[in-house]
Amino acid sequence: MARNPGTTGLIMEEPLLWEKGKKGRLGMSIPESDVPEVAADAALTGAGPDFPDLSEVDVVRHYTRLSQWNFGVDTGMYPLGSCTMKYNPKINETFAATPALAAAHPMLADEYVQGNLQIMYELQNYLGAITGLPGVTLQPAAGAHGELTGMLIFAAYHASRDSKRNKILIPDTAHGTNPASAALCGYKPVPLKSGFNGILTVKSVVDAMDEETAGIMITNPNTLGLFETNIREIAEAVHAKGGLVYGDGANMNAVMGVINAAKCGIDVMHLNLHKTFSTPHGGGGPGAGPVCVTKELEQFLPVPRAVKVGDRYKLEYNCPQSVGKVHSFHGNFSVLMRAYSYIRTMGAENLKKASHLAVLNAAYIKEQLKGTLKLAYNRPCMHECVFSDEWQQEYKITTLDIAKRLIDYGYHPPTIYFPLVVHGAIMIEPTETECKDDIDQFIEAVKTVVEEGKTDPDNLRKAPVNAKLRRLDETQAARRPCLCG
């Protein structure tokens, strides 16, 4: 290929600070002390770690160089499927950092934080409008935390009707957190196999649903990037047996302003603000997984929630049926702020457009690469498309080899070996924020790598060769992680 964004120039080696330090180096100048020196109490200070002596420039260069070893959406395309690693406008960071909002103490009385409460109240309403589910809690700190909150709401609902249920249906295309959250809440996950075309059949749900089953957790679009077109009939089958429908809304990036969850028959749904609504994510947080519910289930939501009384805002604690608190204070407020800013700066029409573009970009990649890699399901995709390494088997090339070689071309590899239902899966989610030129360059890189796999498979198996580190022994890394440098 003609050009690729990957290169190795000017990426520095970097020793540990302990190896770099020299006795007597100083990072700052402190004025001479004008009071008598007193020995510190050894019992208080203890032996303490032996910190290295470093100058300011040592420290600045050390951390700047380390930051250059990182890769993020601000560096380049990050096409991880199931994650929505999209570029987030910096204006949302600016708003989230506004001191009057960001520095407000969570225990201040309502009258001193009317602005914060107004933002929480309005954000609840926006998320309610986006999902069609009007009862909203902002407390959960991540998607999985939202799922657990949803399961607690399921349990509270069934308990309020004296209905004893201990199972929950979970399709094989669900995110791994779904069965985990259900199990944490005491439910036994019952796996459902998706149909030949990658989506769930109504029959499989009808056959599995009974009066001991609390409901179903369904991800839509599912983790294959496919829309569960039977969602409404599935919801009817679950409701007919007294169950509830949980919608995992982490893939909302594909359907903002397009799908109304309530009309699909969904009763409870979480959103991942750190995927869809403008918080950079990866590396573990912070996040926010607000939960939206039907009017009927609103009484079970965690406390407190922001409410409006006249023209004032307050935190409402008086909800006797509530499942209680699921997070200290009000969730991760800075993430809520970014989502609020994102929704307000985009507006309803542009949120919809973002989803349309996210789907268009994935569909474009699917069409451009379907002659190069085998498509797992040859049908219209939503925000991500899934290939397998089936056609590479005759060259003894695997998904891992392709992913590692893409690093040499300057691309963070897509998600690999997930979802589990596709053997050797390669799952690509470009998001709406990549332009056509960049997507074309990525497509060319994938095609070049796959071609190399045919002409020089040995070289591909050695990849990456241009990266800072060569291929790691992943078994060794997992079994004997070296965490001390």
* Between 257 and 289, CB nearer to ligand PLP: 289
CA–centroid distance for 143 within its chain: 7
Q: What is the dihedral of CA 208, 209, 210, 214, to 10 degrees?
A: 120
What burial letters (b/e) apply to 112-146, b meaning 16+ CB within 10 Å? ebeebbbbbbbbbebbbbbbbbbbbbbbbbbbbbb
Question: CA-to-CA distance for 117 and 101, rounded, in angstroms?
Answer: 10
Structure tokens at 429: 């989610």
152 Ramachandran zone, left/alpha/beta (phi>0; psi -120 to 50): alpha
Name the token pair of 190.
């019952």
Cβ-proximal residue to ligand PLP, closest one: 143
Secondary structure of residue 98 in the 3-state scheme: coil
Residue 27 or residue 191: which is nearer to ligand PLP going by CB?
Answer: 191
The reply to whether 441 sits near ligand PLP by the rule CB under 6 A is: no
Q: Are strands 426-428 and 415-416 parallel, antiparallel or unpaired?
A: antiparallel
Q: In angstroms, what is the minimal distance from the CB of 464 to ligand PLP?
A: 26
- CA dist 84 and 225 (Å) reads 12
Q: Under a CB-based contact definition with an 8 Å cutoff, are residues 72 and 433 in contact? A: no
| Residue placing its CB nearer to ligand PLP in the complex, 117 or 382 | 382
C-alpha distances in Å from residue 135, one per residue of 17, 314, 465, 472: 51, 16, 52, 47
Task: Return the residue of 86, 175, 338, 374 that touches ligand PLP, per CB under 6 A.
Answer: 175
Q: Of 19-27, 68-76, 138-146, 457-465, which segment contacts ligand PLP by CB under 6 A?
A: 138-146
Could you say whether residue 251 binds ligand PLP (CB under 6 A)? yes
| Cβ(155)–Cβ(214) below 8 Å | yes
Supply 111's token pair. 């009258």
Using rule CB under 6 A, residue 169 touches ligand PLP: no
Indicate left, alpha or beta for 148 from its phi (over 0: left) and psi (-120 to 50: alpha): alpha
Nearest Cα to Cα of residue 336 among 33, 120, 174:
120
Shortest Å distance, C-beta 9 to ligand PLP: 35
Q: Residue 187 Cβ, how far from ligand PLP at the closest point, in Å?
A: 16
Residue 366 touches ligand PLP, criterion: CB under 6 A: no
Count residues binding ligand PLP (CB under 6 A).
14
Among 237, 247, 248, 387, binds ligand PLP (CB under 6 A): 248
Torsion, Cα of 175, 179, 181, 187 (10° steps): 160
- Judged by beta carbon, residue 82 or residue 392, the one nearer ligand PLP is 82
Does 219 engage in binding with ligand PLP (CB under 6 A)? yes
What whole-number distance in Å separates Cα of residue 399 and Cα of residue 404?
9
Among 128, 135, 225, 289, binds ligand PLP (CB under 6 A): 289
The Cα 461–Cα 360 span in angstroms is 33
220 binds ligand PLP (CB under 6 A): no
Q: How far is the CB of 83 from ligand PLP (least distance, A)?
A: 6
Q: Binding string to ligand PLP for residues 140 to 159, with x set by CB under 6 A, is what?
A: --xxx---------------
Q: Which stretch binds ligand PLP (CB under 6 A): 32-40, 139-147, 185-193, 259-267?
A: 139-147
Q: Residue 82 interacts with ligand PLP (CB under 6 A)? A: yes
Smallest separation, CB 143 to ligand PLP (Å): 2
Between residues 170 and 397, which has the closer beta carbon with respect to ligand PLP?
A: 170
The region of 126-134, 136-144, 294-302, 423-431 touching ligand PLP under the rule CB under 6 A is 136-144
Say which DSSP state 178 is in: H
Using the contact rule CB under 6 A, the part of the chain among 137-145, 148-156, 323-331, 335-343 near ligand PLP is 137-145
User: Residue 16: phi, psi to the nearest 5?
Assistant: -70, 155
CB nearer to ligand PLP: give 82 or 431.
Answer: 82
- The residues of the shown chain that bind ligand PLP, judged by CB under 6 A, are 82, 142-144, 175, 177, 219, 223, 248, 250-251, 272, 287, 289
